[in-house]
Amino acid sequence: MTDYPLTVLLKIRETEKDSAVATYAQASNLRAQARDALERLKAEKARLVACRDRAREQRTDATEVLQIRAFSDYVLGLEREQAACDLDLSAAARDLERAEAALSEARRNMAKAETELNAVVSHQEKWQQERRAELAKKAAEALDDLAIQRWSQS
């Protein structure tokens, strides 16, 4: 049987599918990392808010001027950290959105590559069936010719 004429295209489609699967896996990992980073930042913000609230409650117990200033400085520091954390949170949320968009794109590309590969594989299977049918027909014709020759010789 002769070689499939679209072997090169079949190899290209297989390579594209493998690449799309790898890209999808990478995008999935990036999304998981972005989600984890966002969750860590949310936990950090909750910790800062709790510390700030405890410090505000304790400030009312302070009686000396130095204690009051120290608490005020501490609370201001916590508020600055919380503001920085808020900025980090919004950046992490944007990163997560981008990662989810990339994952969605990778999912579409993977499905497209799979469809294209399936089309070529289907064509190859049909081509092989046609070749088998042609070979069977040629074999049958050769047997018929041989039978005719033998019959005419007798």
Query: Where is pLDDT greater, at 48 or 102?
Result: 102
Torsional sign, CA 94, 99, 104, 105: positive
Chain mean pLDDT for the chain: 89
Do 62 and 106 contact (CB within 8 A), yes or no? no
pLDDT of 127 over the 60 cut: yes
pLDDT band for position 17 (cuts 50, 70, 90)? very high
Model confidence band, residue 23 (pLDDT cutoffs 50, 70, 90): very high
pLDDT attached to residue 62? 55
Question: Which residue type is seen at 74?
Answer: Y
Lowest mean pLDDT among 28-37, 116-125, 140-149: 140-149
Q: What was the pLDDT predicted at 100? A: 95
What CATH number does domain 7-153 carry, 1.10.150.110, 1.10.1660.10, 1.10.287.1700, 1.10.3720.10?
A: 1.10.287.1700
pLDDT score of 61:
60
Residue 72's pLDDT is what?
Answer: 79
pLDDT at 64 > cutoff 80: no
- CB proximity list for 57: less than 8 A, separation 6 or greater: none
Over pLDDT 90: what percentage of the chain? 64
Verdict on whether the full-model pTM lies above 0.85 = no
For the segment 40-45, the average pLDDT, to the nearest whole number, is 93
pLDDT of residue 134: 94
The amino acid at 113: A
DSSP 61: T
Per-residue model confidence (pLDDT) at position 150: 85
